[in-house]
Amino acid sequence: MAVAKQFKHVSYLWDENTAAAFKGDEVGLLIYRSNLLGADLRLTNYGGGNTSCKVQMPDPLTGTKTEVMYVKGSGGDLGTLKKSGLAALYMDRLLALKKIYRGIEHEDEMVALFNHCIYDLQSKAPSIDTALHAFLPFKHIDHLHPDAAIAIAAARDGEKITQELFNGSIGWVEWQRPGFDLGLKLKACLDENPKIRGIMLGSHGLFTWGDTAYESYINTLEVIEQCATYLENNFGKTRPVFGGRKINSLSPEERKEKAAVLMPMLRGYVSEHNRMIGHFSDSDAVLEFINSRDLEKLAPMGTSCPDHFLRTKISPLVLPLAAADDLNLIDSLRDKLKPAFEGYRKMYSAYYEQCKHADSPAMRDPNPVILLFPGVGMFSFAKDKATARIAAEFYTNAIQVMKGAEAISAYTSLPRQEAFNIEYWLLEEAKLQRMPKPKPLTGRIVLVTGSAGGIGKAIAKKMAQEGAVVFINDNDEGRLASATQEFRQQFGKDAFESGILDVTSNATIHHAFQKTVVAFGGVDIVVNCAGISISKPLEEHTEADWDKLYDILVKGQFLITQKGAEIMRKQNLGGDVLNIVSKNALVSGPNNAAYGSAKAAQLHLSRLNAAELGKDHIRVNVVNPDAVISDSKIWAGEWAAGRAKAYGITVEELPAYYAKRTLLNEVILPEDVANACFAFVGGLLNKSTGNVLNVDGGVAAAFVR
């Protein structure tokens, strides 16, 4: 086995001991190698590339040994590849397909025929790249999309540079859409150059191989390292990177502040057809590009590798804004942005009209995915957070490719027709059609105050389960930390963001909404749920008790609604405010002067807000819970003792007491309140505002009159 080499631009992760555990198991080694390759984004982009190995396996019908190829199936990422992500196919059958191949205009029909070559019936669907691996006779093959190699592959003199850099040991195949025919081209390239160790695919990526998993791994790393070193030696050599800096970046804090002010409006424009979730990035790589002299020249050219533009659309929208602009002047901002978005949509429909074929799928959403704001950063918008984040990653890959290509020659993008043929490829469309239907709240951004608490957390979870992204927050740090932990485990990092929010403090409200907007692009549903309770007879109630309750319950709801509505108006997409009030807003009981009247104020404030915000299509509705004892901090404290005293029973007797008091004899759980919230925003009640929904098991005294 070769000795581990020193690498600077790629990570060498091979561990002898781990690999030894797979001795004799070529498929295990393939998966191990794939995971190592996928762990380094410099080697391949998320979901990009595929790997394979060819092994002798017993034919289940005859028992005789036959050659089988294991190759990454359609979809999935190398970094997390498992056996279930592989397709295993009979090599003799795959090679036999060459005989019935009818030529490039019929190559798409070969994809269905791969299914007839399947060896392992548990295989993942064979991908379009299957032929690329099958026709090369090597035991282990890596096909990756490394920025450093694509930079050479997308350079005007890419072929010549590849030839010189590798002394002819890396072959070259011109850009062609992946498919059966490209597989034949790779084989032809090898036949003409039998000594090569890999092949560069114009505008696309790299093929490298070896006799063993390890040899393939090392060969791949060495080739990419050599490409990256070559680029590094050329940065700034003949001219400054991207022609040099044209403008300076704002400070990190100022960039975030600008992003928070701007994103809701951007989100409104890109959500013309579908509600989008946003992502903001201002990494050094992004800033170097968007602040450069060459931005104007390079951005409209669009990206090169098909993976890149499938995720980012053919080109980004450079926003017609200067970092110094006052983004709080809403009308003047709209005057600048509206024509920019209209222009982009026009450009996109012209591209569609020019390039479409008779059988092309209908035009997709013509809004931009990547938006660049010189001096500030990059915004990406997509159907969910992960897709938006990954789009940003891909555009960052594209930036590296442009940087490299421009340093050694001149960057070239794919011709528009080629880009279109990939974007609107019928096989790609079929993949989109197979995607699961979005959940009811997909694309929605929710902020629930007091969401580390019993009811608030249940609401936030329900919203997340139904597809929304949520900002969980509380003024109780300890409770918030454990809620954050729970959300991470249950929903994963893309589904939520969290932070401190005290509903009585405008400064924390500002920060929390800023964090929400920078994380997701805006807000659609605000739930006022934070609360405390104090139960005392009139003579014992202090002024401080009164102020505290009114500050949290009434002023808190007012401030949060005000801030939420400000963002919703900027988005121009309507919105929802849900207020968790209480039966006590309607029913008078003893020892409850401040809490009960504050709840009544919350209820009437909700109606006032509904009346005022209807014109912006912001709906305001109320959920009135009663006696939700499980998981409630309110019930853990003096309140329970106070209520028990008021009713002349013990604290332990309270749940049964409350259940019996209801018409349905039901115990009310936090989940019941969460379901009521979902009912208001899930789609069936879109024409209701100013309503009250009781979730109390039926308390006649609390019927709304």
Q: How far apart are alpha carbons 569 and 257 in whole angstroms?
A: 18
CB-based closest residue to ligand NAD? 453
Interaction of residue 453 with ligand NAD, rule CB under 6 A = yes
In terms of Cβ atoms closer than 10 Å to its own Cβ (0-12, 13-18, 19+), residue 67 is middle
Q: Would strands 377-382 and 277-281 be described as parallel, antiparallel, or unpaired?
A: antiparallel
Interaction of residue 53 with ligand NAD, rule CB under 6 A = no
Interaction of residue 521 with Zn ion, rule CB under 5 A = no
Nearer to ligand NAD, 155 or 530 (CB): 530
Interaction of residue 205 with Zn ion, rule CB under 5 A = yes
Query: Which 578-597 residues touch ligand NAD, going by CB under 6 A?
Result: 580, 582
- Interacting stretch for ligand NAD, rule CB under 6 A, among 46-54, 59-67, 446-454, 605-613? 446-454
Residue at token pair 């057809």: 273
We find the least distance from the C-beta atom of residue 580 to ligand NAD, in angstroms, to be: 4
Nearer to ligand NAD, 594 or 627 (CB): 627
Nearer to ligand NAD, 468 or 676 (CB): 676
The binder of 205, among ligand NAD, Zn ion, none, by C-beta within 5 to 8 A per type, is Zn ion
Do residues 529 and 446 lie in contact, with contact meaning Cβ atoms separated by under 8 Å?
no
Do residues 564 and 523 lie in contact, with contact meaning Cβ atoms separated by under 8 Å?
yes
Do residues 77 and 393 lie in contact, with contact meaning Cβ atoms separated by under 8 Å?
no
Q: How far apart are alpha carbons 580 and 460 in whole angstroms?
A: 13
Interaction of residue 661 with ligand NAD, rule CB under 6 A = no
Interaction of residue 625 with ligand NAD, rule CB under 6 A = yes
Torsion of CA 28, 493, 286, 11, to 10 degrees: -30
Selected binder of ligand NAD within 216, 409, 412, 475 (CB under 6 A): 475
List Cβ neighbours of 354 (8 Å cut-off, separation of 6 or more): 416
Selected binder of ligand NAD within 73, 375, 404, 454 (CB under 6 A): 454
Nearer to Zn ion, 205 or 450 (CB): 205
Selected binder of ligand NAD within 19, 628, 677, 693 (CB under 6 A): 628
Taking only Cα atoms into account, the Rg of the chain, rounded to an integer number of angstroms, comes to 30
The binder of 511, among Zn ion, ligand NAD, none, by C-beta within 5 to 8 A per type, is none
We find the least distance from the C-beta atom of residue 440 to ligand NAD, in angstroms, to be: 24
Do residues 161 and 234 lie in contact, with contact meaning Cβ atoms separated by under 8 Å?
no
Q: How far apart are alpha carbons 224 and 220 in whole angstroms?
A: 6
Kindly report each contact of residues 642-647 with a partner whose C-beta sits within 8 Å and lies 24 or more positions away, as own/partner.
642/534, 642/535, 642/536, 642/591, 643/535, 643/591, 645/591, 646/535, 646/589, 646/590, 646/591, 646/592
Q: What stretch of H or E contains 470?
A: strand 469-474
Query: Which 308-367 residues touch ligand NAD, going by CB under 6 A?
Result: none
Q: How far apart are alpha carbons 340 and 317 in whole angstroms?
A: 8
- Can 595 be counted among the known catalytic residues? yes
For 149-160, b/e burial (b = at least 16 CB within 10 A) is bbbbbbbeebbe
Interaction of residue 556 with Zn ion, rule CB under 5 A = no
Interaction of residue 529 with ligand NAD, rule CB under 6 A = yes
Query: How many of the chain's residues bind ligand NAD (CB under 6 A)?
Result: 31
We find the least distance from the C-beta atom of residue 289 to Zn ion, in angstroms, to be: 23
Interaction of residue 452 with ligand NAD, rule CB under 6 A = yes
| Site map 562..581 versus ligand NAD, x via CB under 6 A | ------------------x-
For residue 705 the two structure tokens come to 């009159």
We find the least distance from the C-beta atom of residue 450 to ligand NAD, in angstroms, to be: 3
- Interacting stretch for ligand NAD, rule CB under 6 A, among 21-29, 88-96, 471-479, 679-687? 471-479
**What is the DSSP code (8-state) at residue 685?**
T
We find the least distance from the C-beta atom of residue 129 to Zn ion, in angstroms, to be: 6
Catalytic residue among 32, 46, 595, 658: 595
Q: What are phi and psi of 376, to 5 degrees?
A: -120, -55
Q: Which residues bind ligand NAD (CB under 6 A)?
A: 449-450, 452-456, 474-476, 479, 501-504, 529-533, 552, 580, 582, 625-628, 632-635
Active site (catalytic) residues? 595
Q: Which residues bind Zn ion (CB under 5 A)?
A: 205
